[in-house]
């Protein structure tokens, strides 16, 4: 009888560990790919619809994920948007880097003694350490890689789990993880300085659409297409003033009138 109980207890413990491992995989998938539908998660993880629903129900109950309507950029199709599942702060907790509390305390002290500008200068100093490396990554990218994709790869190497999505007028840079999100929530200067750095590295004006620090599922930055360089041709190789001058020097057309 004791042996049977022990076997039953071991089986139950093993099943619980397997479930916990699967739920960790679910959270990791959402972290990497951003807010996802149940169908997308089931496909990625090789789970049945019933299986993924069971794990999502547990994660919803524990507060590790939240459900919301999928955000649609651009024209919305017919019908209700799909429901997606996004990580909450509690769900991200074991992915965050350590020392968040220490960093917040240090920046609090810096802000109190040096003012808000001191935090901005600190953020600029921090970002300067990686800006050249990111720019180098973008510059050396092959023709098959867009500048946004090259930047995403560099960000991923630094733990931001970044990817890109095409849009009608450019690309969206998506950072699915932010190691400093808890700090940036209190000090938005960190996000602002990072966005300015993206503009310098890519050579275009980018726009931050969403941040994890403000409660969004993904840090999303819009990167517009670069404008093509003008092709040299008649009238293009000279400036506007020179073209006007050239026009003024053309002989006037006259009509010979018979006497």
122-170 pLDDT, tens digit each: 999 999 989 999 999 999 999 999 999 999 999 988 888 899 999 989 9
pLDDT at 41: 95
Q: Both 90 and 155 in a single domain?
A: no
What pLDDT does 245 receive?
46
Residue 44 has a pLDDT of 93
| For the chain, percent of residues with pLDDT exceeding 90 | 51
**What tokens does 154 get?**
């560099």
Domain that holds residue 125: 100-224
For residue 37, is it within any domain? yes
Determine the pLDDT at residue 3: 56
pLDDT of residue 54: 95
Residues 174 and 114 in one domain: yes
Any domain includes 4: no
Indicate if 70 and 129 belong to the same structural domain.
Answer: no
Query: Is 81 or 235 the better-scoring residue by pLDDT?
Result: 81
Q: Which token pair is 165?
A: 């999505």
Residue 174 maps to a domain: yes
- Statement to judge: residues 139 and 109 lie in one domain: yes
Looking up tokens 């006007």, which residue turns up?
A: 244
Give the pLDDT band of residue 228 (cuts 50, 70, 90).
low
Residues in the chain: 259
Q: Return the pLDDT at 215.
A: 86
Same domain, 44 and 139: no
pLDDT score for 238: 46
Measure the CA–CA gap between 57 and 24, rounded to whole angstroms.
14
210 forms beta bridges with 220
Domain boundary among 69, 95, 121: 95
pLDDT of residue 230: 56
Alpha-carbon span 177 to 96, nearest angstrom: 8
Q: SS3 of 168, please?
A: coil
Round to whole Å and give the CA distance between 228 and 149. 19
Bridging pattern class, strands 170-175 and 162-167: antiparallel
Q: Is the pTM of this model over 0.75?
A: no
Total domain count, the chain: 2
How far is residue 256's CA from residue 205's CA, in Å, rounded to a whole number?
Answer: 57
CB 177 within 8 A of CB 148: no
pLDDT on residue 178: 87
Q: How far apart are CA 159 and CA 149, in angstroms?
A: 15
Compute the mean pLDDT over every residue in the chain, rounded to the nearest whole number: 82
Q: 214 and 104: one domain?
A: yes
Q: Where are the alpha helices (DSSP H) in the chain?
A: 2-33, 38-45, 49-61, 89-92, 100-114, 116-139, 147-157, 181-186, 189-202, 240-248
Position 5 pLDDT exceeds 70: no
Considering only 28-32, 50-54, 83-87, 117-121, which range has the smallest mean pLDDT?
Answer: 28-32
Render pLDDT for 41-99 as a digit per residue (tens, 0 to 9).
999 999 999 999 999 999 999 999 999 887 654 445 566 678 899 888 788 776 765 45
Backbone angles phi, psi at 208, to 5 degrees: -80, 125
């Amino acid at each position: 009888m004791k042996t049977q109980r022990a076997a039953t207890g071991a089986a139950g413990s093993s099943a619980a560990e397997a479930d916990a491992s699967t739920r960790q995989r679910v959270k990791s998938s959402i972290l990497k790919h951003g807010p996802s539908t149940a169908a997308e998660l089931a496909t990625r993880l090789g789970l049945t619809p019933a299986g993924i629903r069971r794990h999502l129900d547990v994660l919803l109950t524990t507060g590790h994920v939240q459900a919301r309507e999928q955000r649609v950029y651009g024209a919305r199709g017919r019908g209700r948007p799909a429901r997606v599942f996004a990580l909450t702060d509690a769900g991200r907790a074991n992915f965050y880097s350590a020392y968040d509390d220490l960093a917040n305390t240090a920046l609090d002290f810096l802000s109190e003694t040096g003012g808000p500008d001191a935090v901005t200068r600190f953020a600029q100093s921090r970002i300067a350490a990686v800006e050249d490396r990111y720019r180098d990554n973008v510059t050396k990218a092959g023709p098959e890689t867009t500048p946004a994709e090259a930047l995403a790869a560099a960000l991923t190497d630094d733990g931001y789990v970044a990817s890109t999505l095409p849009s009608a007028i450019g690309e969206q840079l998506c950072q699915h993880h932010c190691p400093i999100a808890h700090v940036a929530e209190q000090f938005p200067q960190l996000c602002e300085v990072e966005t300015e750095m993206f503009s310098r590295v890519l050579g275009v004006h980018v726009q931050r659409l969403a941040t994890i620090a403000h409660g969004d599922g993904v840090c999303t930055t819009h990167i517009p297409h670069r404008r093509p360089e003008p092709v040299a041709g008649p009238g293009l190789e000279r400036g506007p003033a020179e073209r006007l001058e050239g026009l003024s020097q053309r002989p006037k057309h006259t009509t010979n009138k018979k006497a």
